[in-house]
Amino acid sequence: MYTISYAVTGLIHGASELYHHLRIEQERRDRLIKEPPTEIDKAIGSIYPMNIFAVFGLNVSITGMAAACIEGSLNHLVTTKLFDGDDPNKMDPRQKIFRDFIRDKVELDGGWAKSQQFFRLAFDCTVQDVVGSPLNQALDHLNTIRNSTAHGSNIVFPDTPLPDSAADVYPYSWQKRLSRCSGYLDSVLSSKGLTNHLQTPELGFHWWKIIADSSAAFISRFGDCEGTRFFKQIVSFNPGYRWSPPQKSGTV
């Protein structure tokens, strides 16, 4: 027996609360840039600057939610493809066991890399084939940030590249991935440097644009069907603040 909870739907509702607070911080920053506080404002405390710690926490949470939404949507598409049309009443016990085993592998063996592997097995094409190279790379960067912040530990990012002789040092394995991710974000955000990216509200809004544009590409490829149910929910969600509709093609 399975109880379907539609996790992606819940994540999107949760994300709406996070984006509400992120918009508030973004508006505070923009207002201070447009209208710098006067001495009187400072004296009476009527100006509240953007809280970079709050923005960092919101961005980390949104990053995790965005990554989970696109991964969950992809898994749903795969399981729908694998089991659509199967009548459990016509299966013998061994077939049912095998069916449940495959479903559990897809749904419970988490991770973006594994989800992409299952997708390729189910459809004989890659995620990049559907969304295009720029969006595929952006999704990889999204998951790099998600993985580096998921456990609440410090993000260790060397200021200068570590030599190969330091391969046994913890930051070595992360430096190339985080460096590529930081370089990508440098090119799409107004901030520079990974630390600053995590402290700007633009990051959270950018990640939703990436998964919304990717979802639009999946809908375009596979149509309006049960398998694209959650991709459609991602596309329909509007986080606000200078939001632009998802693109139809797989581009950033």
Flag whether 150 is in a domain.
yes
Q: Whole-model pTM?
A: 0.82
How far is it, in rounded angstroms, from Cα 152 to Cα 84?
39
Q: How is residue 229 written in tokens? A: 């149910």
pLDDT single digits (tens) 194-205: 889 999 999 999
Flag whether 228 is in a domain.
yes
Task: Output DSSP code: residue 157.
Answer: -
Answer whether residue 176 shows pLDDT above 60: yes
Flag whether 207 is in a domain.
yes
Flag whether 97 is in a domain.
yes
Supply the mean pLDDT for the chain. Answer: 82
Q: How many domains does the chain have?
A: 1
Which of 7-11, 159-163, 189-193, 224-228 shows the lowest per-residue confidence on average (mean pLDDT)? Answer: 159-163
Answer whether residue 93 shows pLDDT above 90: no
pLDDT single digits (tens) 125-140: 999 999 999 999 999 9
Could you tell me the pLDDT band of residue 141, with boundaries at 50, 70 and 90?
A: very high
Average pLDDT of the residues in 98-125: 81
Range of the domain at 23: 7-236
Flag whether 145 is in a domain.
yes
Average pLDDT of the residues in 21-40: 81
Flag whether 251 is in a domain.
no
What are the C-alpha distances in Å from 100 to residues 73, 95, 106, 193, 201?
19, 9, 10, 45, 42
Could you tell me the pLDDT band of residue 2, with boundaries at 50, 70 and 90?
A: very low
Give pLDDT, residue 58: 95
Flag whether 104 is in a domain.
yes
Give pLDDT, residue 251: 45
Average pLDDT of the residues in 34-47: 68
Note whether 30 and 251 are within 8 A (CB). Answer: no
Answer whether residue 249 shows pLDDT above 50: no
Flag whether 246 is in a domain.
no
Could you tell me the pLDDT band of residue 207, with boundaries at 50, 70 and 90?
A: very high
User: What spatial distance separates the first Cα and last Cα of the chain, rounded to whole Å?
Assistant: 41
Give pLDDT, residue 3: 42
